[in-house]
C-alpha cells in the first residue's frame, strides 16, 4: 500500500518536473514571439524575397495571400506557432529546400566543431586553472593568466587567418579550409551527420584522418577562447576552495597535497564548473560564425549568415530558434549534472 512517506518524494519530484517543463515552455514561447516580432520589424519585404523585385502586382498579391501576410498579426502569430510546433520552418529562398532539411544538414558540422573545441578547453583549461591556483603568484600562475588574457583579447578571425598561414600554407601540418578534401567527399554515407563518427562507423580511416586534419585548426582556434574562459573560472573557484577550513584540516591530518587538490578541492567546485563548461559549450554552438567563415566550415553559423545576407528570413528565424533550443537544452543538462556531482541538490 502507498504511504504518505512514499508519496511525498514522488509529489515533490512531479512538482519539480512540472515547474521545469513550464519554465521551458514559457522560454520557448517567448523565443517564438521574439523571432516573430523580428521578422515583422526588419525592413525587408518577405514577399519580394520570394518572388523577386521584378514580379508583377498579381503575382505579388497572390504570394502575399499564400504566405498569410494579409491576415491580422495575432492570426499570423498563431499560424507561425502551429507551423513551428510541427517542425516546419518554411522553405529557404537561398537553397530552395525546407529549412528543417538545411538545419539537419548544417548543424552537425557546428556540433562537431563546438564539441571538439570544448574538449580542448576542458582538457587544457581545467588543469591550467588548478595549477595556477595551487602555484598562485608563481610563473605558472602568471603564464596561465597571460594565456587567458590573450584568449579573450585576440580577434578570432585574425587568429584563424594566422593559423591558416602558418600551419597550413607554410608548414603544411594540417589541411586547409572546408570540412573535407575534395578527393574524400561522397565516400562516407552520412548517417549521423557527424563526419568523424560516420567515417569511424564506415571504417573509412583515410576519410577519418582527413576530417581530423581539417578539424584540428578551427577547433584549436575556438579551443583557445574556451580554455581561456574555463581556465580563468577554474582558477577563481580553486582559490576560493583552497582557503577553506576543511583544506587546512586535511593538511593537518597529513592528507597528501595531490589528494587535497585533485580530489577534495576540485570535487567541490564541480557544480559551478559544470555551469561554466555548459555555458561555454552553448556559446560555441551559436557563436562560431567568424570561425566558420574563415575556415569555410559548412556549419549553422555560416548558414545563418549567408541567409541573412540573402534576406532569407525563414532560414534565419529557423536557425535562431534552433540556437535558442540548444541553450535551453544545455541549461537543462547542466541542472541534471548538478544532481550527479552534488548530493545536496538531489
Instruction: Write out pLDDT tens, residues 167-224.
Output: 998 888 888 888 888 888 888 888 888 889 989 998 989 999 999 999 999 999 999 9
The β-bridge partners of 98 are 91
The predicted structure's pLDDT at residue 342: 63
Q: Please indicate whether residue 235 or residue 15 has the higher confidence score (pLDDT).
A: 235
Instruction: Write out pLDDT tens, residues 226-243.
Output: 999 999 999 999 999 988
What's the gap between Cα 227 and its chain centre?
15
One DSSP character per residue, 33-53 reads HHHHHHHHHSS--HHHHHH-T
Q: What is the mean pLDDT of the chain?
A: 83
Q: Is the pLDDT of residue 311 over 80?
A: no
Most confident of 89-98, 118-127, 317-326: 118-127
Given pLDDT bands bounded at 50, 70 and 90, which one contains residue 8? low
How much of the chain, in percent, has pLDDT values that exceed 90? 18
Find all residues with CB under 8 Å of 18, minimum gap 6, and list them: none
Ordered structural domains, the chain, with CATH: 4-85 (no CATH), 102-345 (1.10.3720.10)
Given pLDDT bands bounded at 50, 70 and 90, which one contains residue 130? very high
How much of the chain, in percent, has pLDDT values that exceed 70? 90
Question: CA 31, CA 20: separation in Å to the nearest integer?
Answer: 16
The predicted structure's pLDDT at residue 120: 93
Question: CA 159, CA 223: separation in Å to the nearest integer?
Answer: 12
In angstroms, the Cα distances linking 283 to 24, 142, 171, 331 are 19, 27, 31, 12
Given pLDDT bands bounded at 50, 70 and 90, which one contains residue 7? very low
The predicted structure's pLDDT at residue 1: 45
Instruction: Write out pLDDT tens, residues 38-67.
Output: 777 776 777 776 666 677 777 777 877 877
Q: Is the pLDDT of residue 268 over 60?
A: yes
The predicted structure's pLDDT at residue 131: 93
Instruction: Write out pLDDT tens, residues 23-35.
Output: 777 888 888 888 7
Q: Is the pLDDT of residue 257 over 70?
A: yes
Given pLDDT bands bounded at 50, 70 and 90, which one contains residue 304? confident
pTM: 0.82
Q: What H or E segment, with its residue span, contains residue 318?
A: helix 313-341
In angstroms, the Cα distances linking 256 to 2, 132, 243 are 49, 19, 16
Amino acid at each position: 500500500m502507498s504511504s504518505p512517506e512514499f508519496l511525498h518524494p514522488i509529489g515533490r519530484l512531479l512538482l519539480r518536473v512540472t515547474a521545469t517543463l513550464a519554465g521551458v515552455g514559457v522560454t520557448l514561447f517567448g523565443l517564438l514571439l521574439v523571432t516573430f516580432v523580428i521578422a515583422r520589424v526588419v525592413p525587408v519585404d518577405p514577399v519580394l524575397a520570394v518572388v523577386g523585385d521584378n514580379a508583377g502586382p498579381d503575382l505579388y498579391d497572390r504570394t502575399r495571400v499564400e504566405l498569410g501576410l494579409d491576415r491580422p498579426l495575432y492570426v499570423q502569430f498563431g499560424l507561425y506557432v502551429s507551423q513551428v510546433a510541427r517542425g516546419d520552418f518554411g522553405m529557404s529562398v537561398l537553397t530552395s529546400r525546407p529549412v528543417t532539411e538545411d538545419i539537419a544538414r548544417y548543424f552537425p558540422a557546428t556540433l562537431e566543431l563546438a564539441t571538439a573545441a570544448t574538449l580542448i578547453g576542458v582538457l587544457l583549461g581545467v588543469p591550467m586553472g588548478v595549477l595556477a591556483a595551487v602555484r598562485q603568484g608563481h610563473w605558472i600562475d602568471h603564464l596561465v593568466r597571460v594565456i587567458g588574457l590573450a584568449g579573450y583579447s585576440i580577434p578570432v578571425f585574425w587568429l584563424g587567418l594566422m593559423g591558416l598561414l602558418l600551419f597550413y600554407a607554410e608548414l603544411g601540418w594540417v589541411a586547409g579550409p572546408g570540412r573535407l578534401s575534395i578527393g574524400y567527399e561522397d565516400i562516407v554515407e552520412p548517417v549521423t551527420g557527424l563526419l568523424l563518427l560516420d567515417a569511424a562507423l564506415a571504417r573509412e580511416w583515410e576519410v577519418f584522418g582527413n576530417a581530423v586534419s581539417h578539424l584540428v585548426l578551427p577547433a584549436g582556434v575556438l579551443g583557445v577562447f574556451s580554455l581561456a574562459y574555463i581556465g580563468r573560472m577554474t582558477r577563481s573557484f580553486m582559490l576560493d576552495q583552497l582557503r577553506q577550513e576543511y583544506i587546512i584540516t586535511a593538511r593537518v591530518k597529513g592528507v597528501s597535497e595531490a589528494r587535497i587538490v585533485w580530489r577534495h578541492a576540485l570535487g567541490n567546485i564541480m557544480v559551478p564548473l559544470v555551469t561554466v563548461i555548459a555555458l561555454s559549450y552553448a556559446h560555441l554552438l551559436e557563436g562560431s560564425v567568424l570561425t566558420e567563415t574563415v575556415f569555410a566550415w559548412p556549419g549553422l553559423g555560416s548558414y545563418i549568415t549567408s541567409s541573412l545576407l540573402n534576406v532569407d528570413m525563414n532560414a534565419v528565424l529557423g536557425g535562431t530558434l534552433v540556437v535558442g533550443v540548444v541553450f535551453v537544452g544545455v541549461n537543462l543538462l547542466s541542472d541534471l549534472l548538478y544532481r550527479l556531482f552534488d548530493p545536496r541538490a538531489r
